[in-house]
Amino acid sequence: MRPYAFAGGTAVVTGAGSGIGEALARGLATRGSHLVLVDQHADRLERVADDLGREHPAVRVRTVVADLSDHDATVALGVRLATEHPETTLLVNNAGVALGGNLAELELAEVEWLLEVNLRAVVSLTHGLLPVLRSHPGSHVVVVSSIFGIFASPGQVPYVTAKFGVRGFAEALRHELAGRVGVTVVHPGGVATRIAEDARVGSGMDPRSFEVGRRRISRLLRIAPADAAEAILRAVERRRPRLLIGWVTARLPDLLVRAFPGSYGTLVGRLSGTRADPRRVPRA
């Protein structure tokens, strides 16, 4: 496929109110893409849209406030976006949430909440917009997974399940759409987003333990969202099928999984001198 052409296209970006999503919106606007920005936080969306309107007056910016944990509403949103924005040429499934706690510490409703946002919303929105994307040969889909879509961490069973799921979804979809629509799956490592800050604490988890784990992980979140966004946009332009962001927090874990698929967790514990911390929250 030819390189993806940003200028004049329309990009739908979920989770666009902060972090990687906001940085992607800014990078896309700079490249001349019109934008449809989706987030559950109206105030964050308004700030981003106002900034982009001042900085890029020639770019159309539309905002949609949506709670992607509402399955029926998300399915309807996919249909609505396809109807109202038939010119869409890029879909970035970026929105994600986090939940702390071992599986035994979580209520099933909490697990379902995370899976709805991180996995089912990706499928629903992509399915809704797929006819539009297929009608524009050369369009593209981005699915933001995580290093936890490669490296399974204890204390993150729902998150790992969702991120492995969207990885498989993206890879299978790429084969189905080969030669017509590009698909890139992204595995961020330690990107400094709000996902840990906004994470929910499992109902059966000690909040103090959660805060200790969150502070520990925050020290690893050193990659600027703008740098992550630029890497993603370069990957889209080049039609890269897979992108890992961060050497220590993404590429190295990927290598460990490849080399030691059945024992990488034990190896990491030995190298660090501790067992894997089940209280930690996702890096991205």
Q: State yes or no: is 159 an active-site residue.
A: yes
User: How does strand 10-14 pair with strand 34-39?
Assistant: parallel
Residue 70 CA to its chain's centroid (Å) = 18
List residues bridging with 188 in a β-sheet: 245
Residue where the block lists tokens 């890879």: 171
Strands (E), 45-196: 61-65, 88-93, 99-100, 139-144, 181-188
Burial 243-280 (b: 16+ CB within 10 A, else e): bbbbeebbebbbebbeeeeeebbeebeeeeeeeebbbb
Residue 73 CA to residue 2 CA, distance in Å, equals 35
CB atoms within 10 A of CB 45: 24
DSSP state of 202: P
User: How does strand 34-39 pair with strand 181-188?
Assistant: unpaired
Q: What's phi and psi for 176, nearest 5 deg?
A: -65, -35
Active-site option among 6, 159, 169, 210: 159
Residue 22 CA to residue 226 CA, distance in Å, equals 9
DSSP string, 11-58: EEEESTTSHHHHHHHHHHHHTT-EEEEEES-HHHHHHHHHHHHHH-TT
Query: Catalytic residue positions?
Result: 159
